[in-house]
Amino acid sequence: MKSILSLLPLASLLLPLGASASPCIPQGVTITAQQILHVAPNSTTCANAPASTLGECATAAQAAPALSAAFTKYTLTSKAEQAAVLGLIAFESGEFEYNRNHHPGVPGQGTRNMQSPAFNAKYAASIPAIKDQAEAVKDDPDAVLDLLVAVPEYDFGSGAWFLTTQCEESVRTALQSGSEAGWRGFIVDCVGTEANDARRKYWVRAVEALGA
Ligand SMILES: *[C@@H]1O[C@H](CO)[C@@H](O)[C@H](O)[C@H]1NC(C)=O
């Protein structure tokens, strides 16, 4: 009895804050600022961001905890899937300078994966803490986006939400293999865009950074 009691403080240290004791301890994902910098070297600083995007810019140091929390929340534990999402958001946000569409300026398009207003509405509705507020402003896509970009974990979480809730299981299975064909399938068949060289460069660096 005495020896079991002496183990308890150690066991509680191993549990994430707020987690209930369970035989299956959830594994947190950690993405470091250094890994993000390998993918998005411009994200060392926001000092060079134009005034028009300064409020949107995030450094790798700011991105790291938000992305780690999001990958943990959506149980994105496959390194190949993490690399695909990290490469996507680094490309789409101009290395984290933007979280809103400026060219041509589609109202409500944004978060770090620059998803469309329709996906942002679905995404906001999936987050209990903001779903009522999002419903109240649903006719104003920019206001829905405001709710999402206000919280770094939501802002950086859209890519993981999108992959885990909007892609076919077959797309995820192929992606998890780590092959280039799997990555192309994700970009073309789920994101719905061209798997071009500019995107591929970000993906390759993300694979290197995460050891995927
Ligand atoms: C990164 O910085 C370089 C040098 O300032 C610039 O030419 C390039 O466009 C930047 N890349 C992105 C994606 O913003």
Which residue of 36, 39, 42, 103 sits with most ligand 1 atoms within 8 Å of its CB, as the best mutation to test the pocket? Answer: 42
pTM, to two decimals: 0.88
Rounded CA gap, 187 and 78, in Å? Answer: 17
In tens, the pLDDT along 62-110 reads: 999 999 999 999 999 999 999 999 999 999 999 999 999 999 999 999 9
**For the chain, which ranges sit under pLDDT 70?**
1-26
Would the CB of 42 count as within 6 Å of ligand 1? yes
- Locus of tokens 């890994």: 35
Would the CB of 53 count as within 6 Å of ligand 1? no
Q: 117 φ, ψ to 5°?
A: -55, -35
Residue 10: the pLDDT is 46
Domains observed in the chain: 29-46+54-99+153-210 (1.10.530)
Rounded CA gap, 212 and 208, in Å? Answer: 7
Q: What amino acid is encoded at 128 in this protein?
A: P
Q: Which two tokens stand for residue 208?
A: 């290197």
Pick from 169, 147, 171: nearest CA to 158: 147
